[in-house]
A and B are shown apart, each in its own frame.
Chain A
Amino acid sequence: MLNTLTLHEIVEHLERRECRSEDVVQAVLDAIRRKDDRIHGYLTVDAEDALAQAKAADVARAAGRTGRLLGVPIAVKDVLNVRGQPCTCGSKILKGYTSPYDATAIARLRAEGAVFLGRTNMDEFAMGSTTENSAYGVTRNPWNMDGVPGGSSGGSAAVLAADEAIAALGSDTGGSVRQPASFCGCVGLKPTYGRISRYGLTAYASSLDQIGPMTKTVADAALLLEVMSGLDPADSSSLSVPVPDFRASLQKDLKGVTLGLPREYFVGGLHADVELRVQEAIEVCRKLGAKVVEVSLPRSREAIATYYIIAPAEASSNLSRFDGVRYGFRAAGAEDPIDLYKKTRAQGFGAEVKRRIILGTYVLSSGYYDAFYLRAQKVRTLIRRDFEEAFKSCDAILSPVAPTPAYRVGENSADPLQMYLGDIFTVPVNLAGICGLSVPCGFTADKLPVGLQVVGPALGEEAILRVGYAYEQATAWRSQRPEFSGSLS
């Protein structure tokens, strides 16, 4: 049962020669074969190629090569370019596309010996909170087969929960790593903007996008963060700061740590079980030695409106490259280039992507730019200032990741605004450019996972990893595994 182990456990097994990479990859492939026709977390798995990578890693180890991830399989969200593999972004418009190069984050993992085993399902172009917006079918939540895994990195979260992966990658523009991690009971980290190079990450909203690790434990997330972080000449927004030894910050207590609770976040509107679990988690942190204080984030109220102006605006520009000319799908029967663009985009994009392109084009159009886009950018400054003020009196902020546990499949599909409101606790973190961690903190009465969000200031990953780790070590939520049954009330 190697597939059930954590990333750190696998690394130890491999280093002690207690198993081979080939055994690990085979165990994961077997789990995929047994479960993924029901979960549908993967879009593509190239078993032959994965086994070849694993054998090469085993040969390299025998020859004395080392690497922090030598022979460890990693599942990759279908938005990141891995040389020679497909990258559809969950969209029909990129059907048939093969990545000609590695994203920088992928190249750094590869340099440490990682094996890239498959591509996980996602909301089309990372737009969505359920993975229902994929052009390639719905992913199921292993904790309840009638529930969504969250999104947009829902495939990565689901395959971790189902032990069809050892570790995975996601991308987070407004919560797309943290919220599915919360819905599926795994760990998800949204690093500070600029911490990990975005080169090779298909752009959704460039001022908000970050790649993030999705893992079974906090220590696993720290390791992947460490490998992927650092300045990259190919991404001018990547930060020129040293990469700390993130695992060195992991301690079992929270003595000397001050945690902030935003008073605006606990005033109703939360699912009762979510509120209970988060309150219990706060108590655990207190017992671990943390001091808990109240903080205020008044402009978080306007974060959803701000986000759903800025993100679609950037998306409408970024997605203009998908026009049927250079790659992917091209509609038949076009009369001229404009007709080609319009037909290709009409047939290639799904409804949510079209909505956001129209919305983004609208808020940037003449006469509306000042009223919507420019105003949203100013409110974004206010949101960032709120956090700067709050972090004067605390080291990290605790909140739920999402106001509810996993939705039922189909629950909000006709009402996009209702769906957007579920992002209330995650989007402020992206708007401010700071970091956030989702850690499992128990279950609802229906046995759906609940996530605790730990938010840190810019470059505050060590603080949030420390809080997440101490909390995780003091609890044992990971010992409970899904049973793959259905029926949600």
Chain B
Amino acid sequence: MVDDKAQSAKKMDVRYVANLARLSLTDDEVAQFQGQLDHIVEYFNQLRALDVDGVEPMAHATPVQNVFREDEVRPGLDRDTVLKNAPEHNPEVIMVPTIVE
């Protein structure tokens, strides 16, 4: 938990967070998003005023918990169909830049 005061005073490190999300930003984008995102995060601070002690967090809207099915082999999409949507492929696999030399 980050200290409340320190957190609200600190601006978001936009480039650091974008990197976590595998998103490169231009300097112009960083400048534009900084103000907008700080403004939005500041608005979020209104939630701190609410007493939520002992309240269960709600992750989903339905009462459904685990849904199981038999573990049986079923047809998926065939390779040719899948490869048609790939930006780069050979007849068998999707091509990507070298991962391991």
> CB within 8 Å of B: which residues of A?
96-98, 100-101, 193-194, 207-208, 233, 236-237, 239, 299, 301-302, 304-306, 308-309, 316, 320, 323-330, 334-343, 345-346, 349, 351, 354-355, 357-363, 365, 367-368, 370-372, 374-382, 384, 415-417, 420, 431-433
Chain B interface helix/strand/loop/mixed: loop
Task: Give the CA-CA distance A378 to B19 in the complex, in Å.
Answer: 29
Structural contact, B43 and A355, CB atoms closer than 8 A: no
Contact (A417, B36) CB under 8 Å given A368-B2, A381-B56 = yes
- Chain B residues with Cβ under 8 A from A316's Cβ? 21
Asked whether B90 is an interface residue with its Cβ less than 8 Å from the other chain, the reply is no
Structural contact, B17 and A237, CB atoms closer than 8 A: no
| Interface residue from A239, A325, A357, A360 paired with B96 (Cβ < 8 Å) | A325
Structural contact, A381 and B61, CB atoms closer than 8 A: no
A-B contact count (CB 8 A): 182
Nearest chain B CB to A332 CB, angstrom units: 10
Give 30 pairs: A residue, B residue, CB < 8 Å, sorted on A.
Answer: A97-B85, A100-B82, A194-B62, A207-B60, A320-B22, A326-B86, A327-B85, A327-B86, A328-B85, A328-B87, A330-B87, A330-B88, A341-B22, A345-B21, A345-B24, A354-B29, A355-B37, A358-B18, A359-B41, A361-B18, A367-B1, A372-B44, A375-B52, A376-B44, A376-B47, A377-B59, A378-B52, A379-B47, A416-B40, A431-B61
CB contacts under 8 Å to A, within B37-62, are 37, 39-41, 43-44, 46-48, 50, 52, 55-62
Structural contact, A308 and B44, CB atoms closer than 8 A: yes
Contact (A194, B64) CB under 8 Å given A342-B22, A378-B57 = yes
Task: Give the CA-CA distance A415 to B36 in the complex, in Å.
Answer: 7
- Chain B residues with Cβ under 8 A from A374's Cβ? 57
Nearest chain B CB to A320 CB, angstrom units: 7
Task: Give the CA-CA distance A324 to B59 in the complex, in Å.
Answer: 30
- Chain B residues with Cβ under 8 A from A355's Cβ? 33, 36-37
Contact (A417, B99) CB under 8 Å given A97-B85, A372-B44 = no
- Chain A residues with Cβ under 8 A from B86's Cβ? 325-327
Nearest chain A CB to B53 CB, angstrom units: 9
- Chain A residues with Cβ under 8 A from B77's Cβ? 100-101
Task: Give the CA-CA distance A379 to B49 in the complex, in Å.
Answer: 11
Structural contact, B58 and A381, CB atoms closer than 8 A: yes
- CB closest residue in chain A, given B7: A371
B59-73 to A contact mask, C-beta < 8 Å, 1/0: 111101001010000
Could you say which interface size class chain B belongs to?
A: 35 or more
Task: Give the CA-CA distance A157 to B55 in the complex, in Å.
Answer: 39
- Chain B residues with Cβ under 8 A from A323's Cβ? 22
Task: Give the CA-CA distance A351 to B28 in the complex, in Å.
Answer: 11
- CB closest residue in chain A, given B80: A100
Known contacts A328-B87, A358-B37; 14 additional CB pairs below 8 A are: A237-B64, A304-B43, A316-B21, A325-B94, A327-B86, A340-B96, A362-B12, A368-B7, A374-B57, A378-B55, A416-B40, A417-B43, A432-B61, A433-B61
- CB closest residue in chain B, given A360: B21
- Chain B residues with Cβ under 8 A from A372's Cβ? 44, 47
| Interface residue from B58, B64, B88 paired with A239 (Cβ < 8 Å) | B64
| Interface residue from A326, A358, A384 paired with B85 (Cβ < 8 Å) | A326
Asked whether B25 is an interface residue with its Cβ less than 8 Å from the other chain, the reply is yes
- Chain B residues with Cβ under 8 A from A207's Cβ? 59-61
Task: Give the CA-CA distance A351 to B30 in the complex, in Å.
Answer: 11
Structural contact, B61 and A302, CB atoms closer than 8 A: no
- Chain A residues with Cβ under 8 A from B85's Cβ? 96-98, 100, 326-328
Nearest chain B CB to A351 CB, angstrom units: 8
Structural contact, B7 and A354, CB atoms closer than 8 A: no
Contact (A334, B37) CB under 8 Å given A327-B85, A354-B29 = no
Task: Give the CA-CA distance A432 to B61 in the complex, in Å.
Answer: 6
Structural contact, A302 and B46, CB atoms closer than 8 A: yes
Structural contact, B22 and A233, CB atoms closer than 8 A: no
Contact (A365, B17) CB under 8 Å given A346-B23, A381-B57 = yes
Structural contact, A382 and B24, CB atoms closer than 8 A: no
Structural contact, B99 and A336, CB atoms closer than 8 A: yes
- Chain A residues with Cβ under 8 A from B82's Cβ? 100, 326
| Interface residue from B62, B69, B87, B99 paired with A433 (Cβ < 8 Å) | B62
Structural contact, A349 and B23, CB atoms closer than 8 A: yes
| Interface residue from B14, B18, B40, B98 paired with A336 (Cβ < 8 Å) | B98
- Chain A residues with Cβ under 8 A from B36's Cβ? 355, 415-417
Nearest chain A CB to B74 CB, angstrom units: 10
Asked whether B91 is an interface residue with its Cβ less than 8 Å from the other chain, the reply is no
